[in-house]
Chain A
Amino acid sequence: MGDLVLHLDNINKSFGGLSALSDVNLHVEEGTTHAIIGPNGAGKSTLLNVCIGRLKPDTGKVTFAGEVLTGRQPHEIAQLGVARVFQTPEIFQEMTLLENVMIPALSHRDGAFRLNATELLSKQGEVREEAEHILEDVGLKDMMMVEAASLSRGDKRRLELGMCLILRPRLLLLDEPTAGMARHDTNQTIELLKKIKSRGMTKVIIEHDMHVVFSLADKVSVLARGQIIAGGDPQSVREDPKVKEAYLGGTT
């Protein structure tokens, strides 16, 4: 712990004159869980999109573990060990849960492209075992032959989390992993995220639910109107008057 591993330096991004991120600087310590909170439209999702290569920042650069991520293709960034859980689950709806997890498992094993058209899927025992193991971790093993489209919203999120975890990412970006979940499901997800905390990966988590933030985060940054207005450990951020004004006072 202690080494800074993810750096966002002077990130600017605007959409047609509307500034979404202005001069954002963020540094995340290795192995910690860093929460980004802020009101709607503060630019939180934009920030994650810049990290994974979905959006190109106008200026500034993102570095992860010594590698510059800015300007790289999304699949290259993913191969460097950056995985993301989206706000609306991005899963393979028409496929079974097992297949959903097998695809990232194969991607982790084979890299970005491999012409393995002569192998048989049914012979990939190790990958399959790994996939079943992950499904067990996220509590979906009983349903592994079920089509993903038939899952509840909460289960879809857990599936997506499983799909990210099997990549053994070094950096996991979570975009509101508990949004729209019932309290019971939220608590389960918190437990799950705590469990994987011990595996030493760095996590950046965007969250609205303060209960989730304060049970998981080591550090909190507050984003409002495209700028980081406060940062530090959860307790000090909670008591920061600026934060109360911008965010906490209004919604919680």
Chain B
Amino acid sequence: MTDTKKPLLNDTFIVIIFAAAILAMPIWLDPIGGNYPDLLQKFAIYGIFAIGFNILFGLTGYLSFGHAAFLGVGSYAAVWSFKLLTMNVIPAVIFGVLFAGILAAVIGFLSLRRSGIYFSILTLAFAQMSYNLAYSVLTPITNGETGLQLARSDPRILDHLFSDSQASAGLPSTDLFGETMSGYPGFYFCAVLLIICFYISMRIFRSPFGLMLKGIKSNQNRMKYTGLNTRPYMLTAFIISGMYAGLAGSLLAVTDPLAGAERMQWTASGEVVLMTILGGAGTLVGPMLGAGLIKYFENIFSAFDDNVLAQAFSFLPDSVVEFVVPVVGLFVGSGWHLTLGLLFMVIVIFLPGGLVEGFRRVVNYFRSGGNAKQQSVEAQNQAGE
């Protein structure tokens, strides 16, 4: 019983810290320019997306390249719920999760017949099929390339049932029992769901079910000859992870009620892979960190232009500034992908465990004063995280 020093209390502690950090984001992101509702919502939503993706990829090692399909389905289902039923976000979220779960069951059932690269290609193929369906074939449902939007003439049965005076001008906005879901309220709604999702993911990591998924990642043959049927375990993990993506998709629609086919494109699937690996696949908080970092880069770095840079480097002599600004300029503004690419390469090469492994190494270094032996022991003790 050497590791009983990690009891339940510790996990509760992790959730409380996580919740506090998420809910306080408007405060601590303020100095680094991350405090505006739009970006905060994206942090929370893509955090959910990445945490869900990590349940599949981090635990079982099956790399899905088609998770954007579930994100898209979640969005479409949510917008339809706004159009047909009510502007309340609760049904929208429920339908988003439900439909994504159904699609995940179908795609997972077919794709999980293969493993490794074949599984990745199958999921990619299904996602691209979904994208093309949404873009052209299913235009009556998805409104094709224009994207699905709200209209004043939408039936909204439930809303009309309970209040017959719907004469207000303009489009209605999404709400949670009267509270409009844009701006900060929208962020807090997403944040609360993110915290719940984080808690569920942690419970899965800590459960016998999670242990089995890790076993599948480690040695699927041994699992079979141990008497475990790996297929239903895999499928369940795939569906859970698809439902997370559906939730994220429906939240995108909650904060901005429209859905377009581009949300299903392979770049969106690739993005969540990047987020997870950048933060640390198989770790609890890693995917959240990765999602935050990528969305931060996307929004902040891409907004930098030469004027901002010239100001930032104004302490240097003019001749140096003239040289530095164009070079650095390549990596910000529309070139922010370049920075992201470099960062990704550095992390994959030097820190295969992602940002979380980086933090762990730093912490261990300070704790043990550079004693290598103790480091490895601690790494093992924390391996469960």
**Contacts from A to B (Cβ < 8 Å):** 52, 73-75, 78-79, 83-84, 90-96, 99, 102-104, 106-108, 110-122, 124, 144-147, 163, 167
**CA separation between A147 and B226, bound complex, in Å?**
19
**CA separation between A196 and B71, bound complex, in Å?**
53
B210 with A121: CB separation less than 8 A: yes
B207 with A118: CB separation less than 8 A: yes
A112 with B229: CB separation less than 8 A: yes
Q: Which of B92-100, B107-115, B128-136, B214-222 lines the interface with chain A?
A: B214-222
B225 with A84: CB separation less than 8 A: yes
B2 on the A face (CB < 8 A): yes
In the assembled complex, which residues on chain A have CB atoms less than 8 Å from the CB atom of B344? none
Min CB gap B253→A, angstroms: 27
In the assembled complex, which residues on chain B have CB atoms less than 8 Å from the CB atom of A103? 211-212, 215, 223, 226, 228
B373 on the A face (CB < 8 A): no
A52 with B225: CB separation less than 8 A: yes
B207 with A116: CB separation less than 8 A: yes
**CA separation between A23 and B3, bound complex, in Å?**
53
In the assembled complex, which residues on chain B have CB atoms less than 8 Å from the CB atom of A79? 227
B227 with A75: CB separation less than 8 A: yes
- CB<8 Å pairs between A and B, sample of 22: A75-B223, A75-B229, A75-B230, A78-B228, A90-B219, A90-B221, A92-B218, A94-B217, A94-B218, A95-B218, A99-B211, A104-B226, A104-B227, A110-B208, A113-B229, A116-B207, A116-B208, A116-B209, A117-B204, A119-B209, A122-B7, A145-B381
**CA separation between A85 and B222, bound complex, in Å?**
10
In the assembled complex, which residues on chain B have CB atoms less than 8 Å from the CB atom of A84? 225
Query: Contacts A93-B218, A117-B203 known; A73 to B208 CB distance under 8 Å?
Result: no
Query: Contacts A74-B224, A94-B218, A103-B215 known; A119 to B208 CB distance under 8 Å?
Result: yes
Query: Contacts A78-B226, A122-B8 known; A106 to B206 CB distance under 8 Å?
Result: no
Interface residues on B, range: 35 or more
Question: Which A-chain residue is minimally distant from B227 (CB atoms)?
Answer: A78
A118 with B203: CB separation less than 8 A: yes
**CA separation between A215 and B327, bound complex, in Å?**
76
**CA separation between A114 and B232, bound complex, in Å?**
9
In the assembled complex, which residues on chain A have CB atoms less than 8 Å from the CB atom of B380? 96, 145-147
Question: Which B-chain residue is minimally distant from A142 (CB atoms)?
Answer: B2
Which of B204, B214, B225 is close to A74, meaning CB atoms less than 8 Å apart? B225
Question: Which B-chain residue is minimally distant from A99 (CB atoms)?
Answer: B211
A92 with B381: CB separation less than 8 A: no
A90 with B227: CB separation less than 8 A: no
In the assembled complex, which residues on chain A have CB atoms less than 8 Å from the CB atom of B228? 75, 78, 103, 107, 112-113
In the assembled complex, which residues on chain A have CB atoms less than 8 Å from the CB atom of B208? 106, 110, 114, 116, 119, 121, 124
**CA separation between A96 and B382, bound complex, in Å?**
11
A112 with B212: CB separation less than 8 A: no
Which residue, A78, A144, A146, has most C-beta atoms of chain B within 10 A?
Answer: A78
B236 with A115: CB separation less than 8 A: yes
In the assembled complex, which residues on chain A have CB atoms less than 8 Å from the CB atom of B381? 145
Q: A74-B225, A91-B222 given. 8 additional CB < 8 A pairs?
A: A74-B224, A79-B227, A91-B219, A92-B218, A95-B218, A112-B228, A121-B208, A146-B380
Q: Mark B228-261, 1 if CB is under 8 A from A, else 0.
A: 1110110010001000000000000000000000
B349 on the A face (CB < 8 A): no
B206 with A73: CB separation less than 8 A: no
The binding surface of chain B is classed by DSSP as helix
**CA separation between A117 and B59, bound complex, in Å?**
13
**CA separation between A74 and B221, bound complex, in Å?**
9
Min CB gap A19→B, angstroms: 26
Query: Contacts A78-B224, A118-B207 known; A73 to B218 CB distance under 8 Å?
Result: no
B32 on the A face (CB < 8 A): no
What 10 pairs across the A-B complex have the smallest Cβ distances?
A78-B227, A92-B218, A117-B209, A112-B229, A74-B224, A90-B222, A79-B227, A113-B232, A104-B226, A116-B208
**CA separation between A83 and B207, bound complex, in Å?**
25
Min CB gap B304→A, angstroms: 41
In the assembled complex, which residues on chain B have CB atoms less than 8 Å from the CB atom of A74? 224-225
**CA separation between A118 and B201, bound complex, in Å?**
10
Q: Mark B1-32, 1 if CB is under 8 A from A, else 0.
A: 01100111000000000000000000000000
Min CB gap B232→A, angstroms: 5
Min CB gap A117→B, angstroms: 4
B227 with A107: CB separation less than 8 A: yes
Of residues 43 to 65 in B, which have CB atoms within 8 Å of A's CB atoms?
none
**CA separation between A103 and B217, bound complex, in Å?**
13
**CA separation between A1 and B307, bound complex, in Å?**
90
Which residue, B207, B211, B226, B381, has most C-beta atoms of chain A within 10 A?
Answer: B226
Which residue, A84, A92, A96, A114, has most C-beta atoms of chain B within 10 A?
Answer: A92
Question: Which B-chain residue is minimally distant from A144 (CB atoms)?
Answer: B2
Which of B206, B227, B232 is close to A122, meaning CB atoms less than 8 Å apart? B206
**CA separation between A74 and B203, bound complex, in Å?**
30
Query: Contacts A78-B227, A93-B219, A145-B381 known; A102 to B211 CB distance under 8 Å?
Result: yes
Which residue, B7, B212, B222, has most C-beta atoms of chain A within 10 A?
Answer: B222
In the assembled complex, which residues on chain A have CB atoms less than 8 Å from the CB atom of B240? 117
B171 on the A face (CB < 8 A): no
**CA separation between A244 and B381, bound complex, in Å?**
53
In the assembled complex, which residues on chain B have CB atoms less than 8 Å from the CB atom of A75? 223-230
Min CB gap B140→A, angstroms: 37
Min CB gap B217→A, angstroms: 8
